[in-house]
Structure 1
Amino acid sequence: MRLPLLAALATGIALPALANSWDDTVAAAKGQTVYWNAWGGDERTNDFIAWASGQLEAEYGITIQQVKLTDTAEAVTRVIAEKAAGQTEGGSVDMIWINGANFLSMKQQGLLLGPFLSDLPNAKYLDLSEGSAAVVDFTIATEGYESPWRLAKFVLTYDSARVAEPPKSMAALLDWSTASPGRFTHPAVSNFMGATFLKQALIELTPDASVLQGEATDEAFETATAPLWAWYDELRPTLWREGSTFPENESILQQMLNDGEVDFAMAFDPAAAAAAVERGLLPETVRSYAPEGGSIGNISFVAIPFNAANKEGAMVVANFLLDPATQAKAQDITVLGSYSVLDPAKLDDAARAAFAALPSSPALPTNEELGRTLNEPHPSWMTRIAEEWARRYTE
């Protein structure tokens, strides 16, 4: 059965017309298997999706089949191929965990179902005001074609038993790594986490970060990234193995931190280290923090392709992910540790109590410690940074 709080919070939905329409959606979804294409590189996330499947099956007769991706573009490519083949119904992808450039690509090509967010009863718990993080994806207005499900923010993680005072900025990180050669590295830039590390550095080092909110034209890119490459040219020789090779992803980097091979890891989840400590995957001396000037943050979304075979089931899954009790479950560091996307001002007393009762950890930074959230650059910056880094340092 679902958590008791779920049932309590599901009552009293306003707008009867929406409720009637939603009843039809729920009825049509019964018995469907939703093929959720989601990055499969994190065990906690995979376990959470499996838990959600069990809850949905008990409550709605819906099953989630996670299609584990190494790159979201895999699912996007499948939908593109199906459209090209004229397959406008019965598509193989029912729902995608998506962000940024992949969302922009699908939106521009008319590959998404929607807008559907306003049809979800639990959307009432979101801040849907103009410019809110819940309605903007890497500077792109979602316009109801995506539904939020988890909050992400860049943090660095270090072992306090080995590092007394961690560097609080990218300039300070260069100084630290120069004094401690071989003790810092980052995931490969072809990986999202590696590219995010460079974007964080870019925002800190570029003379005018506001230009990053627009498309990366040739002129803007050259001017904005010049300080980044000058900084990285100095940093690279100080990295683990002198920057000749890089861990494939953040999970491998976390293992390297645990093994004492490096002194830092990084994540786009402020609770990742606390959850790893809880599971015995990192020592209790690790701590996570955000750079003092703020860190890149965004909301992760789910979207439904235009030709999804089980679109009603996908909508029910998206709505379930927004339930306050589901969000509280996800924020529990013993489960997933993913910060909630909901607007606290829109929660009732029972929901607030559920969040207040969640376990804490010395490795878990407070909202105050996380500081200011820096806006993601336009998706074109991530693409060009990865390409330019590869050209400069691997060719």
Structure 2
Amino acid sequence: FQALAGGPDVFSQPLEESEAMQALYAQKSPPVWAFLNDIEPYLWSSAAGGRHPQSDERVQQLFTEGDTELIVTYQATLAAEQVEAGVWPSTTKAYLMTSQPDGTISNTNFVAIPINAPHKAASMVVGNYLGHMESIIARFDPKGGHGWGALPALDPASSQAAYSGWNTAFEAVCADLAGTAPTVEELATHRVGELHSSYITQINADWAKYVHARPE
């Protein structure tokens, strides 16, 4: 969608709060559905004729079984993790999109404490732990105890990381991932922001209407 219609720089306000954004969306979104319909014949299809797997787990299964040649994921270390586990062949590589738009859509996880949370202090303790370097590295390392491979929210090359010595831990993880995953620096350089959630809701609805529900 962002390659053909535009990203946060174009759709700069929540969709439901701006008539101008709604008009712009109506103007710019049709080429997206046309493109998706054009590539339908080249997509995976089930024996029953369906072309749209219902979950990310199913998409990964299709890739594992050799039924698809490419998958898209937020988890930059997924390929390294699956290669290490022997699930995917050693030739599997993760790469970044670097054109149209100039980068790869990326985000980081966050936590929030509800206003009516009964144990706010305890929640803050958990939040502090999640923001600690040790916890960030544990989540980043796909071979660690968490086995997650989550993108770090902090810059491992920052003075804070260097001063604390945690930059060496980041470097060790990156060395293990070399060749199968983009580096943290590459991820940061090519990071592209996401659209406001109101657009995601509308995109999902329009995809179901103009692409998924379209007669074969």
TM-score computed with the length of structure 2 as normaliser? 0.80
Residue 320 of structure 1 deviates from its aligned partner by 0.4
After superposition, the C-alpha distances for 1:21-70 in whole angstroms (9 at most, x for unaligned) are xxxxxxxxxxxxxxxxxxxxxxxxxxxxxxxxxxxxxxxxxxxxxxxxxx
User: CA–CA distance in 1 between the matches of 2:198 and 2:23?
Assistant: 13
User: CA–CA distance in 2 between the matches of 1:209 and 1:352?
Assistant: 32
Contact map agreement 1:250 1:265 (CA 8 A) in 2:
no
Amino acid at match of 2:166: A
Q: 1:384 maps to which residue?
A: 202
Q: 2:160 maps to which residue?
A: 346
Residue 253 of structure 1 deviates from its aligned partner by 0.9
User: CA–CA distance in 1 between the matches of 2:9 and 2:153?
Assistant: 25
Residue 251 (str. 1) matches residue 52 (str. 2): no
Residue 324 (str. 1) matches residue 142 (str. 2): no
Question: 1:203-218 alignment to 2 at 5 Å?
Answer: 203-206=2-5, 210-216=9-15, 217-218=21-22
Question: 1:193-212 alignment to 2 at 5 Å?
Answer: 202-206=1-5, 210-212=9-11
Q: 2:170 aligns with which of 352, 355, 361?
A: 355
User: CA–CA distance in 2 between the matches of 1:381 and 1:355?
Assistant: 35
User: CA–CA distance in 2 between the matches of 1:364 and 1:373?
Assistant: 15
Amino acid at match of 1:355: F
Amino acid at match of 1:380: S
Work out the number of aligned pairs and report it: 194
Amino acid at match of 1:218: Q
Residue 209 of structure 1 deviates from its aligned partner by 6.1
Amino acid at match of 1:282: W
Identity of aligned residues (%): 29
Q: 1:227 maps to which residue?
A: 31
Taking structure 1 as reference, are residues 284 and 245 closer, same or farther at Cα in structure 2, changes over 3 Å only? same
User: CA–CA distance in 2 between the matches of 1:211 and 1:364?
Assistant: 30
Q: 2:86 maps to which residue?
A: 280
Residue 249 of structure 1 deviates from its aligned partner by 2.0
User: CA–CA distance in 2 between the matches of 1:208 and 1:311?
Assistant: 36
Contact map agreement 2:33 2:211 (CA 8 A) in 1:
no
After superposition, the C-alpha distances for 1:322-347 in whole angstroms (9 at most, x for unaligned) are 11111111111213222211242322
Q: 2:123 maps to which residue?
A: 314
Residue 291 of structure 1 deviates from its aligned partner by 1.1
CA RMSD of aligned residues (A): 2.1
Residue 207 of structure 1 deviates from its aligned partner by 6.1
Taking structure 1 as reference, are residues 207 and 360 closer, same or farther at Cα in structure 2, changes over 3 Å only? closer
Taking structure 1 as reference, are residues 207 and 307 closer, same or farther at Cα in structure 2, changes over 3 Å only? closer
Bigger Cα Rg: 1
Residue 237 of structure 1 deviates from its aligned partner by 2.4
**Counterpart of 2:97 in 1: which secondary structure?**
coil
User: CA–CA distance in 2 between the matches of 1:317 and 1:258?
Assistant: 36
Residue 276 of structure 1 deviates from its aligned partner by 1.9
Taking structure 1 as reference, are residues 207 and 272 closer, same or farther at Cα in structure 2, changes over 3 Å only? closer
Q: 2:148 maps to which residue?
A: 336
Amino acid at match of 2:160: K
Structure 2 portions without partners, runs of 5+: 16-20
User: CA–CA distance in 2 between the matches of 1:338 and 1:377?
Assistant: 20
TM-score computed with the length of structure 1 as normaliser? 0.46
Residue 365 (str. 1) matches residue 164 (str. 2): no
Contact map agreement 1:289 1:369 (CA 8 A) in 2:
no
Contact map agreement 1:206 1:227 (CA 8 A) in 2:
yes
Residue 259 of structure 1 deviates from its aligned partner by 0.7
Contact map agreement 2:93 2:179 (CA 8 A) in 1:
yes
Structure 1 portions without partners, runs of 5+: 1-201
Contact map agreement 1:270 1:365 (CA 8 A) in 2:
yes
| Higher mean displacement: 236-245 or 304-313 | 236-245
After superposition, the C-alpha distances for 1:356-381 in whole angstroms (9 at most, x for unaligned) are 22222421112454442112112211
After superposition, the C-alpha distances for 1:94-118 in whole angstroms (9 at most, x for unaligned) are xxxxxxxxxxxxxxxxxxxxxxxxx
Residue 257 of structure 1 deviates from its aligned partner by 0.7
